[in-house]
Amino acid sequence: MKPDNSGAFSFQPVGIIRSCFTKKFGIPRQAGLVREVSAVIELLPPCNNEQVIRGLEGFSHIWVLFIFHDSMEEGWKNMVRPPRLGGKKRVGVFASRSPFRPNPIGISAVKLERIETSRGKLSLHIKGADLMNGTPVVDIKPYLPYADAIPDATGGYALEEPEPRFEVLITGNAKSCCEEEEDSGHKGLSSLIVSILNTDPRPAYYSAKHDGASFGLTLWDMDFKWTVEGDKIIVSDVEKLKTKSQDSV
């Protein structure tokens, strides 16, 4: 590989993400924030080869380098409004983890649960992913605590994990849907919904006001409807989407 005449470097995906997040809204804003979220990296040719990941099973965590493919077309600006600052203050794009970047590459440290080989597919099962279904993966690396873990790194506006601020209640149709799905194999669906909504996925400018506004959280082919009322999040309804994504896990 060489840069082309314009000095650009070109990357081919080595894998693709299969996850419950079939829409962008509701995806946790960093890896590890919602530890329950499972996802799969499906390796693509020529990397769907057991040799390329040999020895990786010994590591508890891995880095996933990926493309913010669903944010690319919007381009980027010098400054962004991070949700952690309530959407009010702007910071430079390089002082943020915004997906709208000059080169839209993301890095996520996730837990490696297991590696599966079946029917010619090589899949890495991961936990704590903040990755949309269909995300192109451009690299996978072992997480090396002696080089990558700097627990006493300081400064900036986003030092601590955001605290859950809500009580999440699943009621009505949403509740019966969760019960049915859990019976038929989607174990832990309710607690997944609770954990995701606890991170408050609303756009930053909604957070302080707009009580009562309605939102949807799409997981697989289910669009869960929810509202915020004071310190409660109420999930009361669900709509099954017609175009079920066959590829999400």
Q: Which is nearer to a copy of itself, 107 or 213 (CB)?
A: 107
CA distance 206 to 195: 19
Q: Which is nearer to a copy of itself, 150 or 231 (CB)?
A: 150
Sign of CA dihedral 46, 47, 49, 52: positive
Peptide bond preceding 102 in cis form (omega within 30 of 0) = no
CA distance 71 to 237: 28
Q: Which is nearer to a copy of itself, 2 or 119 (CB)?
A: 2
Please report how close the Cβ of residue 128 comes to a copy of itself at its closest, in angstroms. Answer: 9
Is residue 55 left, alpha or beta, with left meaning phi > 0 and alpha meaning psi from -120 to 50?
A: left
**Torsion angle of alpha carbons 233, 235, 239, 240, nearest 10°?**
100
Question: What type of residue sits at position 226?
Answer: W
What is residue 224's three-state secondary structure? strand
Please report how close the Cβ of residue 234 comes to a copy of itself at its closest, in angstroms. Answer: 28
Please report how close the Cβ of residue 59 comes to a copy of itself at its closest, in angstroms. Answer: 4
Please report how close the Cβ of residue 108 comes to a copy of itself at its closest, in angstroms. Answer: 8
Please report how close the Cβ of residue 165 comes to a copy of itself at its closest, in angstroms. Answer: 16
List, edge to edge, every strand of the sheet that includes 167-170. 167-170, 232-240, 222-229, 214-219
CA distance 98 to 58: 31
Q: Which is nearer to a copy of itself, 65 or 249 (CB)?
A: 65
CA distance 225 to 148: 38
Q: Which is nearer to a copy of itself, 93 or 204 (CB)?
A: 93
Q: Which is nearer to a copy of itself, 50 or 180 (CB)?
A: 50
Please report how close the Cβ of residue 97 comes to a copy of itself at its closest, in angstroms. Answer: 6
